[in-house]
Amino acid sequence: MLLWPGDHLWFDVWVPRDDPLFVDDVIDAPTWVGEWWAAALAATSDAPLAVQRGSCAGSAVSKLVCFAGVGPARSSSVPAKWSGWRSGGPGQGALFHVAAYWRWDPDPLPWLLALEPDASTALAAVLAEVAVGIDALAPTPPEHPSVVTHLLEQLPPGEWEVRRRDAPGGDPGSAVR
Q: Tell me the residue type at 59.
A: S
| Per-residue pLDDT at 75 | 59
Return d(Cα 32, Cα 25) in angstroms, integer: 13
Query: Within 13 Å of residue 114, how many CA atoms lie on the same side as its CB?
Result: 0
Region of poorest pLDDT, from 15-24, 40-49, 148-157 = 40-49
pLDDT higher than threshold 70 for residue 87: no
pLDDT tens digits along 53-81: 766 666 777 777 777 766 655 555 544 45
Region of poorest pLDDT, from 23-27, 42-46, 86-90 = 86-90
Residue 97 dihedral angles phi and psi, to the nearest 5°: -105, 115
| Per-residue pLDDT at 84 | 53
pLDDT higher than threshold 50 for residue 169: no
pLDDT tens digits along 123-161: 888 888 777 788 877 767 667 777 788 888 888 888 888
Q: Tell me the pLDDT of the chain averaged across its residues.
A: 74
pLDDT higher than threshold 50 for residue 88: yes
Return d(Cα 177, Cα 174) in angstroms, integer: 10
pLDDT higher than threshold 80 for residue 50: no
Return d(Cα 38, Cα 16) in angstroms, integer: 22
